[in-house]
Structure 1
């Protein structure tokens, strides 16, 4: 997994409801030795619909200032920058993601009311189209459980595994690698394959305790259930699903239903696993 050294963790700020995202993003930036960059997309159409044009701009500047103060309270040594960019939120964040290490956004209420959130919700669009990994933060804080990653043997899931191992190491957490099997698969052989691939990538992170489990069932449903005790769940944007679009069924299930924060891993360059 490679990313440019100067790339920042970026936060998409829509409103004050996104301030909890800043707290988690600041911790993530500090853990990875990255700076934090706050971005608010300013909508002129909404500004002209307000009582005064100046009020929405003032509110945007106040939001950036509050987020900056919060990030520094969480991580006093963190370098924090911010900007207000004119344009619709999703296109603005997609452009900025081209030079970001990680994009953090709120979930728009998906975890508590998935049926209320449209398929074109900003978090879904960004997870499907961003040029970097996307962290979708929930409104409720997660438990201090393991870092969960879904592995299906595809190259993209191996990149998610690599990212998960690095994150687990920086969080001082254990890694739970999960492979969901189908009825016609040999569980023992699948467990052997999972253990082997985790062992190859874990060679760079000997400090991370790892667990490998195989469970028979629906991949999305199994991962959502396992995420209830995880501090974060990680999945490739699209794993072993060549017929899917930009966001696979498993990633969609986690985005809409997992109670934990979810990192959709995309836009990363794979690196050779140790011993591969």
Structure 2
């Protein structure tokens, strides 16, 4: 799951000002991880040709990019930022860029406030199919709580823990590692497993205060509840299953319902995805 040293944080922007909080979150992540920020606006020729003025549509696209760069500079004036208007559909553009990115950041489009969300929504498609970790931002800013990571014993959840530890180390050092067990499961054994895993993976981040939490209940609902006081939630996209195109049940629950920003992590065994 390692990314190249020069791999950027990629954020997609629309022409709406609702994109600007997403850009600011992406800029903070880029600054904390020592990465450059790549701002992309997908330019749809079909829509542009239907507009009253083709030149006007292009000008609007460039204006969206300029506003996004300005928002990123508000976060960190020294952050390396590149910005591009890219031809193509937004999801396809982001999926292509995800193959060489450190992190892709997308807005959720307000899905947590809706009763029904299209599976074609950009956040759903990118979180399900991206070739790198995907951060789905929310409309409302998160609380100043810890990073919460969901563990399930899979190799991918260990990658999620590594990412979460790194995020916590670069922020305020607080991490909560959550493992959910069945009502009649062996909680004591699971507590030992989580403690051993934190000791092993956390040795590279001695400044992080990691709190293990073994809880009972439905995994999706437990993590949604935990996310209410989290600055960020990190989970594996689909356990140890290598396919792209689908999120696991717990990841879907968090995507649609968690109030906090969520990072979806994929493992090193992922099968490459052909993007349109």
TM-score range, shorter chain: over 0.9
Alignment of structure 1 residues 108-127 onto 2, 5 Å: 108-113=109-114, 115-127=115-127
1:43-65 CA distances to partner (integer Å, 9 max, x unpaired)?
Answer: 11111221111222111100100
Look up the match of 2:90: 89
Look up the match of 2:203: 203
* Equivalenced residues, count: 269
Segments of 4+ moved more than 4 angstroms: 240-245
Q: What is the Cα-based RMSD across aligned positions, in Å?
A: 1.8
* Deviation of the 1:120 alpha carbon: 2.0
SS of equivalent to 1:100: coil
1:127-147 CA distances to partner (integer Å, 9 max, x unpaired)?
Answer: 111011001000100000010
* Deviation of the 1:80 alpha carbon: 0.6
Alignment of structure 1 residues 1-276 onto 2, 5 Å: 2-16=2-16, 17-113=18-114, 115-239=115-239, 246-266=246-266
Does the aligned pair in 1 maintain the 2:129–2:245 contact within 8 Å?
no
1:134-164 CA distances to partner (integer Å, 9 max, x unpaired)?
Answer: 0100010000001000001100000000000
Identify unmatched segments of 5+ residues in structure 2. 270-276
Change in 2 beyond 3 A, CA 1:245/1:195: farther
* Deviation of the 1:240 alpha carbon: 5.5
Tell me which moved more, 13-22 or 79-88.
13-22
Does the aligned pair in 2 maintain the 1:219–1:250 contact within 8 Å?
yes
SS of equivalent to 1:111: helix
Identify unmatched segments of 5+ residues in structure 1. 270-276
Tell me which moved more, 247-256 or 260-269.
260-269
Structure 1 distance, partners of 2:261, 2:129, is 18
SS of equivalent to 1:99: coil
- What TM-score do the two structures reach when normalised by structure 2? 0.93
